[in-house]
Amino acid sequence: MLRQVQEIDLELDERKQSMETIHDQLRDHKKMLDKLVADLDQQKVELEEMASLKGQRQIELDEAEERHTKSKERLMNVSSTKEYNAVEKEMDQLKRKSEETREQLEHLKEAIELNERQIAEKEDKISALRKQINGVEQEAEGQIAVLQKELKSWEAKRGEAREGIKTGIIRRYDFIRSRRGGRAIVAARDAHCEGCFMAIPPQLYIQIQRGETLESCPSCQRILYYYEDAIEE
Domain ranges of the chain: 2-162, 167-232
CATH topology of domain 2-162: Helix Hairpins (1.10.287)
The answer on pLDDT for 232 being more than 80 is: no
The answer on pLDDT for 230 being more than 70 is: no
Contacts of residue 8, Cβ cutoff 8 Å, sequence gap at least 6: 154, 157, 158, 161
Model confidence at 227, in pLDDT bands (50, 70, 90)? confident
Closest CA to 75 of 92, 93, 88, 90: 88
Contact 193, 200 (CB under 8 A): yes
Query: E strands, the chain, where?
Result: 185-189, 192-193, 215-216, 223-226
DSSP string covering 3-30: HHHHHHHHHHHHHHHHHHHHHHHHHHHH
Distance of CA 175 to the CA centre of its chain: 33
Distance CA 231, CA 69 (A): 103
Distances (CA, A) of 49 to 11, 23, 40, 109: 57, 39, 14, 12
Q: What is the pLDDT of residue 229?
A: 63
What is the tens place of the pLDDT at every residue in 85-137? 898 898 899 899 999 999 999 999 999 999 999 999 999 999 999 999 999 99
Distance CA 200, CA 217 (A): 7
Distance CA 5, CA 155 (A): 10
What is the tens place of the pLDDT at every residue in 200-209? 999 999 999 9
Segment 47-51 shows an average pLDDT of: 95
